[in-house]
Amino acid sequence: MARRYDPERRQRIIDAAIRVVGEKGIGGLSHRSAAAEADVPLGSTTYHFKTLDELMVAALRQANEGFAKAVTASGAFEDTRVGIAGELASLLGEWLAGDRTELELEYELYLAALRKPALKPVAAECGEGLAEVLRRRTDPVTAQALVALVDGICLQVLLTGVPYDEAYAREVFNRLVPAGD
């Protein structure tokens, strides 16, 4: 039997892994569950991802692109007339107002790095994209503090179910980066 050419298979497996984690949590992800969700043979998942950790790394890397990509695409931090705190609070509000599946997945995989060493380097990359954008307007320490604050606010909203409070976020961001900065 001739092997079927399928250049998109690896990406379909990653997308399937993300859906599995979104539906069943990190504990529900296996090569078998990803293969079933992607509608590919089990051997395809193990061919493209030798270990489950490799598949999780690929899924986390893809999930990480979310907020930092939205921030970069907005171009908001390029304009020095726009306050960092207000813009960050607004963008975070937009991010949290949408479908939270991707955001929940990102944090679930991010926290899985506590127990899975293979995920730690990718988890470290999570905030780096956002920090890089923020460093264009502030110093490196403040940029990292803002990223930590974004993570904290997101986790509070996701874990407690309390609605996002943009005014509160703006206030705490302003404490790190006063309105004139």
Neighbours of 27 (CB within 10 A): 9
- pLDDT at site 66: 66
CATH 3.40.50.1360 for the 9-58 domain, yes or no: no
Burial 113-137 (b: 16+ CB within 10 A, else e): beebeebeebbeebbebbbebbbeb
Query: Helix or strand or coil: residue 4?
Result: coil
> Cβ(30)–Cβ(24) under 8 Å?
no
CATH 3.40.50.300 for the 64-176 domain, yes or no: no
pLDDT, tens digit, for every residue of 115-172?
A: 888 888 888 887 888 888 889 889 999 999 999 999 999 999 999 989 999 999 999 9
Each domain of the chain, given as residue ranges in start order, spans 9-58, 64-176
φ, ψ for residue 90 (rounded to 5)?
A: -65, -45
**At 3, is the pLDDT very low, low, confident or very high (cuts 50, 70, 90)?**
low
- Taking the whole predicted model, whether its pTM rises above 0.75 is answered as yes
- pLDDT at site 68: 67
